[in-house]
Amino acid sequence: YWNLVIDFPCKDFVLELSKDELSESIRQSTSKRISDKRVAYLAEKLTALANQSYCAVKKTSPILEEVRYYGKELLRLSEQRQTVLDQMVELAQPLPEYDILLSIPGIAETTATSIIGELGDIRRFQSANKINAFIGIDLRHYESGNFLAKEHITKRGNPYARKILFKCIHNIASASHTNPCHIADFYEKRKRQSQTTSTKPHTIASIHRLIRTMYYLITHNKLYDYTSTQNR
């Protein structure tokens, strides 16, 4: 995406090229292998957008160079981020919990590494509930006289771990089409039974179940097995 922004910061750069020239420029803008069908789609899409848009500056405007500069910076930062992630994965691979987390459907290398990085050694927690409190998804209860407030999560813990596990639930749900998981089953069941459109409460409830699963597997040094969860 950013390569295209760098090459075509203004619609004039698109419209001045023929269809074949535009297709070749798109192909050269990425180091990845890209199919002819994908190239044709992008060329058609770019041309349509260029015809619909109005450029606020001239083709010679220095603002376009600024756009290119920020595009290149974003690419550089993205590459740097990937380098750091690769180093994190390399450090996490020897740890026993790394393979255990990977055995859970929907959890890939980057997610497993991020969980280890934010939670540390899960074995140090006395229970799964302690992990809930550590990341701030334990419930806040307030009661005064006859008034009982609606319960909310405390959000006092690690916000990065919350975000990682929040995304993790949606990854598990997506992966369940080919790799079944009892956490995804629980999530989908909660959604079907709910009368509200918000999925956040179901996601938080599923995070609780995911944490219990991770805690059990890691403390017992076991890989995830979907069939064993069906017997409980």
Query: Is the pLDDT at 150 greater than 50, yes or no?
Result: no
Average pLDDT over residues 127-138: 85
pLDDT averaged over every residue in the chain? 85
* Higher pLDDT pick, 196 / 68: 68
Query: Is the pLDDT at 72 greater than 80, yes or no?
Result: yes
Q: How far apart are CA 210 and CA 193, in angstroms?
A: 20
Assign residue 95 a region (left: φ > 0; alpha: ψ between -120 and 50; beta: otherwise).
Answer: beta
**pTM recorded for the entire structure:** 0.74
The pLDDT value recorded for residue 57 is 83
Average pLDDT over residues 171-191: 91
Residue 149: which pLDDT band, with cuts at 50, 70 and 90?
very low
CA count, 13 A, side-chain hemisphere, 210: 32
Q: Domain locations in the chain?
A: 2-87, 93-229
